[in-house]
Amino acid sequence: MPARIIVFALLVGLASLQAMSAQPGPHEDADPLSLPTEYLQPITYAVVGQQKSGTSTLWNNIVFHPHIKWVSPSKEIFYFSNDVPSTTLCDADLIGYQRQMAVQRLKNNRTDMHVGDWSTTYFSCVCCPVVLRTMNPSMKIIVVLRDPIQRTLSRFLEQKRNPGFTFHDQVANHTFASFVEEEVGKVEKCVQHAGRVKTRGRDNSPDRPPRGWGAGMDMGDWLEAQCYARSNLLGWSVYDIFLENYMAHFPTKQILVLYTNELATATLATMRKVEKFLGVEPYSYDEEKAVLIFNSRECYHWHCAKSRNEIREARSKERDPMLDATPFGQASARLVKFFRPHMRRLIKWADEGKISPVPQSWKSTYA
């Protein structure tokens, strides 16, 4: 890694630590729950995911904006959900959560800034949208999405290469092709079972009113959502089910969908979208830092940075037709077929202006 990249990464880490240890306000030693109500305002935004889609790159730039803070000593707090569905805690201690929000305002001695949650496990958490809406119906929701095959492959490689990671044992003895064959079969069987108890049939039309947990989901819808939510590497790439859940609880004007490719190739322009969405003034970011990619392949950490030319994009059959006949190419073709109906819903929502326009490559692959 070039020396200047290492220096940039260190500077980002130092700046974030400085931000977290800002000069305390006059009441920081007081019990936050005894403070005036303005210190206990609910969070105003949430970056809910998706994992392996670029939220670390977004976070490592946005942390420098003086009006944008987060509810955690680090990037993610995982307060209501973690990687494993059994750790979903939608009844978590809200007083403790309020304390976290108050601490951020106390540290900066300000009540006019945005305090948000950056837990990228919330997008696939079936009960999280209703929790967030209950805390603040006016909350702004930010989602970052990546080509579903690329996200699945990235998550697979991350877990396979790191023995201490949550799902390493699940993939340790698999190639990507064998994992896809096994996992797609499991998820499809689960979804087939869910369809048997859907009271409205298997209507996944993009034109139907959005259904969410506690907002129109029947038992079959709930079971289907769980099929994907309980498959972290593969199922979490089925975006329409989870995005629809948020659309059932929040108006589309309160949901900003970003895409990994625009964040990677036009980081500053993407930052301006986020600023406009949150209603804050533009900030002068470090342009050299903005070209770095964080938490990428072989650099798995929120503060680990690489330049774009250091990152090898995962191969795909669209870039190399010779891969079609290989196990990897066949697995990719299987995933295109698996994800296509879900991606078509996203494309339709984008064409109707409900979400941001999807990358053209998505239409070429999945439409």
Residue from 274, 222, 228 nearest 248 by CA: 222
CA dihedral 22, 289, 62, 167 (to 10 degrees): -100
**Distance between CA atoms of 219 and 206, rounded to whole angstroms?**
20
**Structure tokens of 220?**
């079959």
If you write DSSP's letter for every residue of 246-258 in order, what string do you get? HHTTS-GGGEEEE
**Distance between CA atoms of 5 and 11, rounded to whole angstroms?**
10
Query: What are the φ/ψ torsions at residue 274 (nearest 5 degrees)?
Result: -65, -45
**Distance between CA atoms of 159 and 243, rounded to whole angstroms?**
25
**Structure tokens of 140?**
């702004």
In the block, which residue shows the tokens 């990249």?
5
If you write DSSP's letter for every residue of 292-320 in order, what string do you get? EEESBTTB-STT-EEEGGGPPPPP-TTT-
**Distance between CA atoms of 184 and 182, rounded to whole angstroms?**
6
Q: Facing residues of 68 across strands?
A: 114
Residue from 188, 173, 168, 296 nearest 233 by CA: 168
In the block, which residue shows the tokens 């579903």?
148
Query: Any known ligand binding at 99?
Result: no
What does the chain come to in residues?
Answer: 367
- Is 253 in the active site? no
Question: Of the residues 52, 69, 75, 140, which is catalytic?
Answer: 52
3-state helix, strand, coil in the chain (%, to 5): 50, 10, 40
Residue from 181, 222, 39 nearest 115 by CA: 39
Query: Any known ligand binding at 154?
Result: yes
Residue 268 in contact with residue 58, Cβ under 8 Å?
Answer: no
**Structure tokens of 120?**
């990228």
Residues within the annotated binding site?
146, 154
Residues within the annotated binding site for 3'-phosphoadenylyl sulfate?
146, 154
Which residues participate in catalysis according to the annotation?
A: 52
